[in-house]
Amino acid sequence: MTSAFRPSRRLKVFAFDPSTARSFAGGTASSVTITLPFELDPQDPEAPFIGPKGEYVEVVDADPSSGAFYAPIDLNDAAVLHNDGLSPAPHDPRFHQQMVYAVSMNTIATFEKALGRVIQWSPHERKIEHADKPTEWVYAFTKRLRIYPHALREANAYYNPDKKALLFGYFTAGSASRSAPPGTTVFTCLSHDIVVHETVHAILDGLHPSYAEDTNPDMRALHEAFADLIALFQLFSFPSVLEDQIAKTKGDLGRQSLLGELAQEFGRAVGRGCALRDFLGGPDADGEWQAKEPDPAAYRNADGPHARGAVLVAAVFRAYLTIYKTRVSDLFRIASGGSGVLRDGEIDPDLKCRLAAEAAQCARRVMRICIRAMDYTPPVNVSFGDYLRAIITADRDLFPEDAQRYRAAFIEAFCAWGILPAGMPVISEPALCWPTLVQAEDNRQAINNIDEGLDWLEKIQSNLGLMLTQPRQMLSHLSSPMRISGKERRASYRLEAERTEAEAENVGLKIRERLLRLNDKSTTMQLNADTPARALVLDVNLLEIQGSRDREIVYHASNYYQRLLWLMMNCAASERFAELMGLCMDDTPLATIRRSRTTGMPSLHVASVRIAKRPGQRGQMEREYVIEVIQTRRGYFDADEQQGEDARKPNPDLSNRQCDFLYRTGTTFLVDARSFAIRRLIRTPHRIDDDAGLALCRDHMARAEAHAANAFYSGRSPRAAAFAALHNPAQPKDGFQ
Amino acid sequence: MNTRRPTARVKPPSSGVKVRMYRQGHGDCFLLAFRKGRSRRAYFVLIDCGRKSGSTPTDLHADGIEFDDVIEELYKDCGGKLDLVVVTHEHQDHVSGFPKPGEDGHPFSKIEVHELWLAWTESEDDPTAQALRERYNDTLLSLALVHEKLSRLKGLEGQDTGLADEIAEFLELETGHAQGRDVLREMASAMGVAPADISAGPEQAFAAASNAPRIRGKRYKERLQGLRHMVKSEIKFLSPEDGPWPLPGLDEVRVYPFGPPRDAKLLTSLNPRKAEEFHVGPFALGSPGAGLFAAFEGEATASAAPFEPRYVIEQASVFETQITDVDQSHIYFAETYLAEGQEYRRIDGDWMGEAEGLALRLNSEVNNTSLVLCFELIDSGRTLLFTGDAQRGSWLSWADLAWDVDGRQVTARDLLGRCSLYKVGHHGSHNATLNGALDSPHPNLAWMALGPYAQDFVAMVPSNKTWAWGKKRPWRHPMKAIETALHEKTEGRILLIEPATPKKDAQAPQAEWDAFLDRTQIERFAVEHWVPDTPVGGNTT
């Protein structure tokens, strides 16, 4: 980039869906301007920016149902660039493209800010069948999420994880429509709420691909509720959107829950059967909107992803309101001369603005807390209780003192709605935090009634440290199959080591590409273009290199570490390490557990090695690595069949056997980026060889199977169907389940 | 043609009725044999005759037995004469054994059919039935075109073909044809579309057929037409507000029609069509299917686009983009949508995903038009329930049913409580047997076979379970939860087509189980169970 001029990109979007002329949409609030920092999606201001096709997303306006494409917008066109984008215009498809771009990018910016790193889309996976070898799965980096603003002709929009694409629909409003005039076209891509919601599905899928699996009653609900929460708070982070509603409260602190009405209205936009905000409130006998009192039994009784998701939304929203009310109580006292009770009539416009600004600020904070927690969840099979623990731990690790009482608000709200981690006798902030390594080890020794001291933990620490800071040396150390016996296994191990080496080369190539680009401009130093790529993978911590805004380098570096860690765990892990981590690595007789071809032992899948950076209480940068390890086991609905399969002769080839469902467990561990000490262990409640966990999963899967909306077999791939079907109406409850 | 008919192989029971579930494959074919006065020949009722192709039970398949051979056995069993044929609804797995018009060589054509009972929804004169049929036809036309269009995308690399395969299965259930273009051709031709329009291509056939003037009572389905021509005496259309009906010449039996419901809401699980609603073809604006139909009516051309022409680029011109093209829009789409290696991200067929829901709904709506019959054996009060594939809506409607019999009110609830044999709906699948408790407001399994009737209550599930669950795209027939509930309710007295041998529940008293086995015969071509017209509870010793 030659120009020093690096302007933010400002783009206008609808805050409210234009086709829904609700009572709220009066005045200035119907559109807002989104500001995207230049660095987020750097584009040469001199060149056209068509599509938009940027670093993260590409908007492709294909409408196959009409046999048409719609001409792409050029965001660098002078009339667009200098005018904060096209003015909101439902009749112009280029405005639609601008809106989905701006809203999705703004959502991405929110996540990157909260997580302290670039976000990644889930990789494209491809199955390669070999005649002579077992089937191979190949994963490729997904550079851009594709957005199709006019892909469907129905009142639906969804994320398709196979295509790495968001598909938005449009439809003609029917006479039952409460808002849009019958016969007019409603575009789901013009609903801010829906665009954020679908983008969040894609981001969360990139963070945790296994969360799309329906393995317990909370999984689908969590995806849905999380997307809904971010969609809601993203809108609430625009103060102008809130002002009218805050004016309606007439400055009565008790009536601040009226914000829930606004939240609910957003959820109803476009009427695609969004039941997620049902528990916020509703009109009372006089037609006045009232917030709903929390129901501690709601979570236990809720059935299906929507009902359960609605409870989570209600709980987080309650926490939000508590935080907001606490933060504005001083404003009320100041404005009322200390009484806290304002005089009747219209609210003072200055106060209204201050309240709206506070509400928006709170929305951003709560949103950040909710997002950060996603690094603190178990890698698979997560429940709402786990999510609460994640929220509390994430916030506590960053802000040891709960000065603003945010965590207290969350705990109170979740308790009020009955969302509590299973098997937890005492609910308190420290108890809710995930165990530290030392706590976990103390418990392990206590259970086994042994006293081995804690010194051995330092070995883990130094191994991790060496691996992260000197990956090349670690790799050459691990390259020879030391503890592996048997010819085939050695070969398989060597293959894994070669793949790791190849990934290192990948990273090297990408770094070289970057360097060569600099090289062209440099006159003082010339990089030899023939330098082998691997020579460039210096022994430095690749997760912290300067190119960390280059998502492709980050992707390959992360893959490289995943493979290294896999080699290391397979070579160096001890039994007590496995026990501590909640992993099963000994030679269990259970044949249903997926086994490694290399070791013949239960296989470990290192799902992620990523960095998280965030400013702490004193402004210091807190850095830590998030590492996820997953194990998998074949599950059968029939208990006898399960027993039979469990009792087979263990063999890695059994992994691809037909089964009814997959049972997964795993551990996330957080590693301090300075000391390389493991900070916290986040384990699923059951280990892979624990039949109780398997039984829970089976119960749910059998119920979900029975819940399936029909008597036949769906043609969609399970992952694609997971998202497309989420927005379908719920089933009646008098069938067998 | 008056060949001598053989003597019926199935002898009438001493009292009550023998129910024979044929083992032709996955589908319904039931022969009921009643004692007719003092006659040596039974009164034969056939309920449905169909199956999914390729679903022959393995033991019969191994001997090269096909559907025709099973129909031949049926012919021998009934002595070539059926006093009454009941067709519950027109799905392949219920009607594929009937001959098409003019199929004289068909094994069923030899059989003499006296009376035919159909649901009121099959009547030519009923305006509601007529409206239903029109919507059915339009929906089916749309689905057929969806299949045709999706099939054309099949060559495209990386595109999921699951949806096309799924729609094909539904088309086959409805029409016997798995290819959308065959369905379109047949339908268009039956609707009087000019041959030139039909041969012009599926899109043209669709356009011509959807604009064809509606011909009253015209149906394209062939099998039922063929059967109608065979009827010697009368075709009766049954409705739940009528009856109960006697079986001619029998004094001991009354037949109560439970469904299909007259209430349009329960029949179609949709809001009744309102005059003030806007419609696209058969679909209310904004309802599932409306988008599909609108796009098809615009022949999926740019004229159907929701934007003014100046914003629109014809798809064809994008697909034909040349390397030398300088138009920046064309270049953009060539580098994104048409980029090599990115085919898996294309969405050419995704907008037709709605067809999945539409097909499911059509399927369950047709299922719900099932003629549901409850046979009452008058002396003992025992009843037998044949639901066809009736769905939830039909079940709900039974709650309010009542008939006046000799000045006494008989309710459906009362009849269900006396049930001795339940022909399980839709091969035991989702939503065709309702769950609940005795005090639930809606009819459900718990309402059936109460008190002493529970001890010999039998469930017959016309399912080749081995085949259905083992399909490449498995069907949950029967569904586990329903099978478990039935197993508990009947203490194991469940009869399937395959596996045919029932499994005793460990809790079941041995005497009851032996009594059940005494009345049950597992034969090569059929599973038979006898429900005697004797009081319950008196024979447990």
Query: A-contacting residues of B 42-81, CB under 8 Å?
Result: none
Write the residue in B286, B292, B364 that is nearest to A173 by C-beta.
B286
| Closest chain B residue to the Cα of A721, Cα to Cα | B353
Q: What are the backbone dihedrals phi and psi of residue B112, each rounded to the nearest 5 degrees, phi first?
A: -90, 125
CB contact under 8 A, A153 and B440: no
Determine the pLDDT at residue B215: 54
pLDDT (tens place) for every residue of chain B, 541 residues total: 456 788 999 999 999 999 999 999 999 999 999 998 778 889 999 999 999 989 999 999 999 999 999 999 999 999 999 999 999 999 999 999 999 888 889 999 999 999 999 999 988 888 888 888 888 888 888 899 999 989 988 877 667 678 888 899 899 988 888 999 999 888 888 878 888 888 888 888 888 887 776 654 445 466 788 898 899 999 999 999 998 999 988 989 999 999 899 988 888 754 444 444 455 555 666 667 778 887 887 665 667 789 999 999 998 888 887 767 778 899 999 999 999 888 899 999 888 888 888 888 888 889 999 999 999 999 999 999 999 999 989 999 999 999 999 999 999 999 999 999 999 999 998 888 988 899 999 999 999 999 999 999 999 999 999 999 888 878 888 888 889 999 999 999 999 999 999 999 888 899 999 999 999 999 999 999 999 999 987 554 3
**Which pLDDT value is given to residue A392?**
96
DSSP 3-state of B322 = coil
- Within 8 A of B474 by CB-CB distance, chain A residues are 713
Asked if the Cβ–Cβ distance from A67 to B435 is below 8 Å, we say no
Chain B residues inside the 8 Å CB shell of A160: 350
What is the rounded CA–CA span in Å between residue B214 and residue A463?
79
pLDDT tens by residue, A52-103: 999 999 999 999 999 999 999 999 999 998 899 999 988 999 999 999 999 9
Bridging pattern class, strands A678-683 and A661-672: antiparallel
Cis peptide before B462 (omega within 30 of 0): no
- For residues A627 and A611, give the distance between their C-alpha atoms in angstroms, rounded to a whole number: 9
Q: State the burial class of residue A247 (Cβ atoms within 10 Å of its Cβ: 0-12, 13-18, 19+).
A: middle
Beta carbons of B67 and B25 less than 8 angstroms apart? yes
DSSP string, B391-411: -HHHHHHGGG-EEEETTEEEE
CA atoms within 13 A on the CB side of B87: 31
Instruction: Assess contact for A171 and A183: CB atoms under 8 A.
Output: no
Among A53, A68, A74, beta carbon nearest to B336:
A53
Give the confidence band of A529 by pLDDT, cuts at 50, 70, 90: low
CB atoms under 10 Å from CB of B439, counted, come to 7
Query: Closest partner residue to B301 among A67, A716, A720, by Cβ?
Result: A67
Chain B partners within 8 Å of A728 (Cβ): 357
Q: How far apart are CA B298 and CA A67, in angstroms?
A: 10
Cβ pair B285:A172 closer than 8 A: yes
Disruptive mutation site among A50, A61, A65 for chain B (greatest number of B CBs within 10 Å)? A65
Give dist(CA B125, CA B239) in Å, integer: 13
Among A14-18, A21-25, B47-51, B353-357, the least confident range: A21-25
Task: Name the pLDDT band for A271 (thresholds 50, 70, 90).
Answer: low
Q: Omega before B499 cis (within 30°)?
A: yes
Residue B55 CA: distances (Å) to CA of A299, A711, B360, B500: 45, 17, 21, 14
The size of the A-B interface in CB pairs under 8 A is 238
Neighbours of A26 (CB within 10 A): 11
Would the CB atoms of A70 and B306 count as touching at under 8 Å?
A: no
Amino acid at A586: D
Angle subtended by helix axes B180-190 and B162-175, to nearest 10: 40
Cβ(A686)–Cβ(A665) below 8 Å: yes
Residues of chain B positioned with their CB less than 8 A from the CB of A715 = 160, 162-167, 356, 473
Which candidate in A63, A96, A122, A152 is best for mutational testing of the B interface (most B CBs within 10 A)?
A63
Work out the minimum CA distance from A423 to partner chain B, whole angstroms.
29
Least confident of A293-297, A633-637, B34-38, B190-194: B190-194
Which residues of chain B make contact with A182, given a CB cutoff of 8 A? 278, 285
Dist CA B352 CA A59 (whole Å): 21
- The whole-angstrom separation of Cα B282 and Cα B132 is 10
User: Which amino acid, residue B161?
Assistant: T
Say if B91 is an interface residue toward chain A (CB within 8 Å): no
Q: For residue A180, what is the nearest residue in chain B, using CA coordinates?
A: B286
Among chain B residues, CA nearest to A59: B336
A71, A152, A177: residue with CB nearest B351: A152
DSSP H helical segments within A417-544, as ranges? 429-432, 437-448, 457-469, 471-478, 487-521, 533-536
| Cβ atoms within 10 Å of A688's Cβ, excluding its own | 25
What's residue B283's pLDDT? 66
Residue B172: both structure tokens together: 């086959």
Which pair of tokens denotes residue A374?
């996603």
pLDDT over 80 (residue A480): no
- Alpha-helix runs per DSSP H in A249-379: 259-268, 298-301, 305-335, 349-372
Answer whether A568's CB lies under 8 Å from A478's CB.
yes
Q: How far apart are CA B497 and CA B507, in angstroms?
A: 24
Interface with chain A: mutation pick from B326, B337, B347, B431, highest number of A CBs within 10 Å:
B347
Q: What is the pLDDT of residues A230-251, one digit of tens each?
A: 999 998 999 988 888 888 777 6
Q: How far apart are CA B208 and CA B198, in angstroms?
A: 8
SS3 at position B434:
coil
What is the per-residue pLDDT for B299? 63
Please state, in angstroms and rounded to a whole number, the distance separating the CA atoms of residues A306 and A224: 8
B239 burial class (0-12, 13-18, 19+ CB within 10 angstroms)?
middle
Chain B: nearest CA to A92, how far in angstroms?
Answer: 7
Distance from CA of A71 to the nearest CA of B (A): 6
- Determine the 3-state secondary structure of A687 from DSSP: coil
Of the candidates A577, A549, A551, the one whose C-alpha atom is nearest the C-alpha of residue A565 is: A577
Query: Taking the CB of residue A342, how many other CB atoms lie within 10 A of it?
Result: 18
Of A151, A163, A714, the CB nearest to B356: A714
Distance to chain B for A623, nearest Cα, Å? 36
CA distance B482 to chain A (A): 6
- At B49 the three-state DSSP class reads strand
Chain B nearest CA to A657, separation (Å): 15
Tokens found for residue A204: 């969360």
Confidence of residue A506 (pLDDT cuts 50, 70, 90): confident
To the nearest whole Å, the CA of A540 is away from the closest chain B CA by 34
Please name the helix (run of DSSP H) or strand (run of DSSP E) that holds residue B280, with its range, or none. Answer: strand B279-280
Residues of A within 8 A of B165 (CB-CB) are: 715
Q: Does B338 contact A at CB distance below 8 Å?
A: no
Range list of H helices, B369-452: 392-397, 412-417
> What token pair was written down for A291?
């917030």
Q: How much is the pLDDT for A401?
A: 87
Q: Measured between CB atoms, which of A182, A715, A735 is closest to B431?
A: A735
Q: Note the pLDDT tens digit of each residue in A276-289.
A: 777 788 878 887 88
Beta bridge partners of A682: A668
pLDDT value for B249:
85
Residue A512: CB partners within 8 Å, gap ≥ 6? A527, A531, A533, A536
What span, in angstroms and rounded, lies between the C-alpha atoms of B355 and B374?
Answer: 35
Global pTM reads 0.88
User: ipTM strictly over 0.90?
Assistant: no
Chain A CB contacts of B280 under 8 Å are 172
For residue A183, count other CB atoms closer than 10 A to its CB.
Answer: 13
Q: Does B336 sit within 8 Å of A711, measured CB to CB?
A: no
